[in-house]
């Protein structure tokens, strides 16, 4: 198995490598010498796991819509990434607790075209499966092509170019099931028959899939109309999966929407094409029946996928969120793990009124060592930019269409380009997820702005319309550190300046930048000597980075960014 970094090296270097510009009329490159991230949450102190326990979530930060498959002793998991690139991270584990990212399934700019889509469009809810020495991911590129399948013999990649599935037009969330007789079926969310009866009225459909031809065949069969009880007007039945156990076909799906009413339901049938009968005890997973004022709440749980271990245990991965107040969270939807119990032939993940535990006893599997890049609990990491490529958990906004960065020799160099954070384009920005409610990101930057409008620094961004940018810039002919904010589409695409301070000293020396998140509040610091932090702005309302305010399905990224308006103006929003 290739290492995580090696798997990404040829892709990102080929897509995005640049030579530092020598022309003094062009903006200077922004050279970042290191990037540090760290965080911890109240729950990390409030609940401590025992030696045989693990922490929830198993993947903190923006890792939604988990899908899992087992191949022998190995488990593979994928998540949604929407319009972030590279897309669809692929993780590996042997104990279901410690996960290492081994690649990204969408890692070539020409596989999909995110164009100028919003950050919550693009790739939704991938589903991974394995059959006859081949790995499959079926997925939907929303507003960028529709439903498709990609394949690989090594889950670390390379993955094939998309093969489109036009029979699934209008649907999302496809999942591929291989039956014991070798037949293959795709189940997905799609429009109901006729005119929808209410907002959120959807249906689940089934169709044969030909693995050799990589296409759907035969008639489409309606499995579920609306949800487990159409009389109650259930909304957004989605994320379906089928598996077989003890002579039954089980169909699980999310229901209730992605907010606090989210849940997971199950139905079963003696034949794969139905009819499917719902479990009388549905939902099998939800947190909507708990008190809103409970400590360290976990909410909005659903979109589960089940897997059986070699020892016969059943476990579920699913998404949920951790608000810092009310329904405000900046970290996006995260991946959790819980055991599945079986009651009279039906699976259950949480009992009615049961809170998702922050710690739980580990699966009966040999424990692995902690991954090189932690995904759970309190942790700190530092990237020295001394490898051949960025780790695969780093990403940019949409596909790159030109080469604008280099990495190596202890620095990440960005070419400032006329693409702002609010331009609905591919700005010179590279980042990693905010994974804790209380977190810090910092960097050392060497950058000499040559004219008004040149700026480089550290960003906290949820999407094109909601972000903070702490930068070294030029203002009135002087070098300054400044903070800009965009808090909605009515703000200018390049943001609104809310604080600035002069930068004295050697312009060739590094400037240190730091952003600190404290739940709903964000603080911004700078230094001309390492460790000598000065506040530029404290207590900024970070709720603009929350899903509740910014909308969509993604989480906050901390990243490095460089911008210059010296050539063409930034594109207008479509």
No. of helices (H) and no. of strands (E), the chain: 3, 40
Query: In which element (H, E) is residue 43 found?
Result: helix 42-46
DSSP-derived secondary structure letter, 395: B
Alpha helices in 292-398 (DSSP H): none
Burial (Cβ within 10 Å: 0-12, 13-18, ≥19) of residue 110: exposed
Inter-residue contact 422 to 396 (CB < 8 Å): no
Q: How many Cβ atoms are within 10 Å of 56's Cβ, its own excluded?
A: 25
Burial (Cβ within 10 Å: 0-12, 13-18, ≥19) of residue 296: middle
Q: Is 238 a catalytic residue?
A: yes
Query: SS3 for 184-250, per residue?
Result: EEEEEEECCCCCCCCCCCCEEEEEEEECCCCEEEEEEEEEEECCCCHHHCCCCCEEEEEEEECCEEE
The token duo for 73 is 């002793």
Q: Is 65 a catalytic residue?
A: yes
Q: How many Cβ atoms are within 10 Å of 132's Cβ, its own excluded?
A: 7
Token match 């089928």: residue? 242
Inter-residue contact 385 to 411 (CB < 8 Å): yes
Instruction: State the Cα torsion 6-112-92-13 to the nearest 10°.
Output: 10
Taking Cα atoms as reference points, which of 123, 168, 165 lies closest to residue 142? 123
31, 44, 65, 440: the catalytic one is: 65
> What's the rounded Cα separation, in Å, for the pair 269 and 280?
14
> What's the rounded Cα separation, in Å, for the pair 456 and 564?
9
The token duo for 128 is 């991974």
Taking Cα atoms as reference points, which of 299, 322, 333 lies closest to residue 554? 333
Q: How many Cβ atoms are within 10 Å of 552's Cβ, its own excluded?
A: 17
Taking Cα atoms as reference points, which of 547, 541, 536, 545 lies closest to residue 521? 541
173, 238, 454, 464: the catalytic one is: 238
> What's the rounded Cα separation, in Å, for the pair 242 and 251?
5
Helix (H, G, I), strand (E, B) or coil at 452: coil
Which residues have C-beta within 8 Å of that of residue 501, sequence separation ≥ 6? 480, 481, 482, 526, 534, 536
CA angle 386, 63, 240 (to 5 degrees): 145
Which residues have C-beta within 8 Å of that of residue 375, sequence separation ≥ 6? 58, 59, 60, 63, 99, 435
Inter-residue contact 151 to 160 (CB < 8 Å): yes
Inter-residue contact 276 to 251 (CB < 8 Å): yes
Inter-residue contact 132 to 122 (CB < 8 Å): no
Which positions are catalytic? 65, 238
């Amino acid at each position: 198995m290739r290492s995580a970094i090696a798997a990404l090296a040829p892709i990102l270097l080929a897509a995005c490598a640049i030579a530092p510009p020598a022309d003094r009329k062009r903006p200077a490159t922004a050279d970042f010498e290191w990037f540090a991230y760290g965080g911890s949450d109240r729950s990390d102190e409030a609940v401590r796991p025992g030696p045989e326990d693990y922490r929830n979530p198993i993947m903190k930060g923006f890792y939604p819509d988990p899908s899992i498959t087992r191949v022998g002793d190995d488990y593979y998991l994928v998540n949604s990434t929407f319009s972030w690139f590279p897309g669809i991270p692929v993780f590996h584990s042997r104990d279901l607790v410690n996960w290492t990212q081994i690649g990204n399934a969408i890692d070539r700019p020409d596989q999909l075209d995110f164009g100028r889509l919003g950050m919550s469009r693009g790739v939704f809810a991938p589903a991974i499966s394995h059959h006859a020495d081949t790995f499959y991911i079926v997925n939907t590129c929303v507003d960028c092509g529709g439903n498709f399948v990609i394949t690989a013999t090594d889950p670390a990649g390379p993955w094939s170019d998309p093969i489109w599935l036009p029979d699934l037009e209008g649907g999302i969330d496809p999942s591929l099931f291989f039956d014991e007789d070798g037949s293959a079926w795709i189940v997905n969310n799609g429009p109901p028959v006729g005119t929808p009866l209410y907002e959120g009225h959807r249906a689940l459909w089934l169709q044969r899939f030909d693995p050799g031809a990589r296409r759907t065949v035969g008639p489409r069969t309606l499995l579920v109309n609306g949800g487990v009880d159409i009389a109650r007007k259930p909304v957004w039945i989605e994320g379906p999966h089928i598996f077989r156990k003890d002579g039954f076909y089980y169909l699980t799906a999310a229901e209730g929407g992605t907010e606090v009413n989210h849940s997971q339901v199950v139905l079963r049938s003696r034949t794969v094409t139905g009819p499917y009968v719902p479990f009388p005890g549905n939902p099998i997973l939800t947190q909507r029946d708990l008190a809103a004022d409970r400590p360290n709440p976990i909410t909005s749980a659903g979109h589960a996928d089940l897997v059986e271990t070699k020892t016969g245990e059943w476990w579920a991965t699913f998404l949920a969120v951790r608000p810092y107040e009310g329904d405000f969270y900046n970290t996006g939807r995260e991946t959790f793990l819980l055991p599945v119990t079986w009651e009279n032939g039906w699976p259950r993940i949480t009992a009615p009124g049961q809170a998702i535990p922050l710690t739980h006893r580990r699966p009966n599997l040999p424990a692995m060592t902690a991954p090189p890049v932690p995904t759970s609990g309190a942790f700190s990491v530092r990237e020295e930019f001394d490898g051949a490529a960025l780790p695969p958990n780093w990403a940019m906004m949409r596909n790159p269409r030109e080469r604008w960065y280099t990495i190596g020799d202890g620095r990440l160099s960005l070419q400032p380009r006329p693409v702002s954070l609010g331009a609905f384009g591919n700005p010179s920005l590279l980042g990693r997820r905010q994974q804790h409610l209380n977190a810090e990101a910092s960097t050392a930057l060497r950058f000499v702005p040559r004219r008004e409008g040149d700026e480089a620094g550290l960003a906290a961004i949820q999407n094109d319309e909601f972000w903070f940018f702490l930068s070294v810039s030029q203002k009135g002919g002087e070098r300054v550190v400044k903070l800009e904010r965009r808090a909605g589409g009515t703000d200018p695409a390049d943001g609104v300046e809310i604080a600035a301070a002069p930068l004295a000293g050697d312009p060739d020396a590094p400037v240190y930048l730091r952003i600190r998140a404290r739940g709903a509040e964000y603080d911004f610091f700078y230094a001309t000597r390492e460790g000598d932090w000065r506040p530029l702005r404290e207590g900024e309302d970070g709720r603009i980075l929350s899903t509740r305010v910014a909308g969509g399905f993604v989480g906050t990224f901390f990243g490095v960014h460089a911008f210059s308006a010296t050539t063409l103006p930034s594109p207008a929003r479509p």
